Amino acid sequence: MPKVMLTPLGVVLPTAAQTAFKLLSVNDATGQLFLHPDHTYTAQLSIDMDDGQTIVVPAWRVQYSNARGPYKGGIRFHSDVDLAEVTTLAGLMAFKTAVANIPLGGSKGGVRIDGRTLSATERERVARAYIRAFGQCLGPTRDIPAPDINTDSATMGWMLDEYERMVGFSSPGVITGKPLSLFGSQGRNSATSLGGKYVLDKLLDHLNIKKHPLTVAIQGVGNVGGGLARLLSEDSRYRVIAISDTHSAVYHQTGLDILDVLQHKEKTGSVENAEYTHNLTNSELLALPVDILVLAALENQVTAVNQKEVQAKIVLELANHPVTSEADELLSQRDIVVVPDILANIGGVVVSYFEWVQNQQNFYWSESDIQVRLRQIIYTAFADVAQASATHNVDFRTGAYIVGATRLLTAMRLRGVIH
């Protein structure tokens, strides 16, 4: 068994969550419950590297809430991962599944290792070691992992295999984001991007924005940012003029040829110097005078210090927690609309939910079924958040926390966990 921390580290929820709790008259005792995960598991993974060395890296699984269904959340392989980050992200997952109104809770996992530099065989060893360490805390009705930063469908396939070896029976619903041939779902790879696009479309209707094309800058050209760039480039209402990776950004005033840029990145490992583009720094990209800024990279990218530079009118959080709480308040004072992560990026976990349903039923849906069902859930979540924001006269993030917390509180009350 992995070690259990007896006093789990607290969840750092954004200021907007605290405002939502106040508006919902959440008392101190319940507030305490919201600030702590149900369980925190920790382990040291021993990994044999290809060069013959053995390294030992810390890993975590944090289960925040299962009041609304089995714990659910991705696993990241990143050199900056620590317990505080995994704990906060586990909390965000519970609010995301509640905003999406799907019958799942929230959890998160992480390994402190640079996933980008691992060979396929090393990545497989990390994936299997993670499941050997935490498999007993997982299960299709207990806790269901998924991909996150630097983990992908192949990683999920190895994790499934290791889990099934452990329990001795087939159990595809233990993990989502699997390869299609290992009972993954149609549309899972592009789900977060497509969900983000549906949110953006709905936002334009809601704000009655008729102008087009709207210019877009995207921070992050990974699966999520790159996927959204592709979708937006197929819609004449949008024009993607800049996109970045971890090293560099590229820009073209009249719009990028996204397929070209993605191909260049595939070939050279970076977007830098893609044909017919100008190179920019990451901070220059954040400061572009665009209509929409999409944050699809890491946490804490827009801070109290650099928020002054942001000129976009709309900020879409496709990554988890890319805008700090201090920056959030300042952006809101400047009338910049921030669409929060717990609404903007729910597409991934919603299609994970569909994958889990298909696994439990052993009956598989078409890509168009997935898209129709995803759109329905996103539109409803958007409308619920917009209504809560209007009723309480608050920004979208506070509105989203009001929706999520109300659903969590109702479940906790009906279970008798709170009164």
Q: What is the DSSP letter of 8?
A: P
267 is an active site residue: no
Q: What angle do CA 219, 221, 227 make, to 5 degrees?
A: 110
Q: How far is the CB of 345 from ligand GLU (least distance, A)?
A: 6
Q: Which is nearer to ligand GLU, 89 or 274 (CB)?
A: 89
Q: How far is the CB of 173 from ligand GLU (least distance, A)?
A: 12
Contact 138/131 with Cβ under 8 angstroms?
A: yes
Q: Which is nearer to ligand GLU, 146 or 217 (CB)?
A: 146
Q: How far is the CB of 350 from ligand GLU (least distance, A)?
A: 8
Q: Which is nearer to ligand GLU, 148 or 395 (CB)?
A: 148
Can you tell me the distance from the alpha carbon of 139 to that of 70, in angstroms, rounded to the nearest whole number?
A: 9
Lookup: tokens for 346: 């729910």
Q: How far is the CB of 371 from ligand GLU (least distance, A)?
A: 17
Lookup: tokens for 56: 């030992």
Query: Residues 193, 232, 318, 382: is their CA dihedral positive or negative?
Result: negative
171 is in an annotated binding site: no
Listed in sequence order, the DSSP H helices in 249-291 are 258-268, 282-286
Q: Which is nearer to ligand GLU, 82 or 260 (CB)?
A: 82
Q: Which is nearer to ligand GLU, 233 or 352 (CB)?
A: 352
Listed in sequence order, the DSSP H helices in 109-222 are 120-134, 153-167, 191-206
Q: How far is the CB of 72 from ligand GLU (least distance, A)?
A: 5
Closest CB to ligand GLU: residue number: 74
Q: How far is the CB of 278 from ligand GLU (least distance, A)?
A: 32
Lookup: tokens for 230: 């592709």
Contact 158/127 with Cβ under 8 angstroms?
A: yes
The residue ranges that bind ligand GLU (CB under 6 A) are 72-74, 146, 148, 176, 320, 345, 348-349, 352
Find the helix or strand (DSSP H, E) in which 316 lies. Answer: strand 314-317
Can you tell me the distance from the alpha carbon of 279 to that of 244, in angstroms, rounded to the nearest whole number?
A: 9
Query: Residues 161, 167, 169, 174: is their CA dihedral positive or negative?
Result: negative
Lookup: tokens for 358: 């298909």
Find the helix or strand (DSSP H, E) in which 64 lies. Answer: strand 54-65
Contact 413/390 with Cβ under 8 angstroms?
A: no
Q: Which is nearer to ligand GLU, 348 or 404 (CB)?
A: 348
268 is in an annotated binding site: no
Looking at 3, 22, 108, 308, which residue is catalytic? 108
96 is in an annotated binding site: yes
Supply the residues annotated as catalytic: 108
Numbered residues of the known binding site for NAD(+): 192, 223
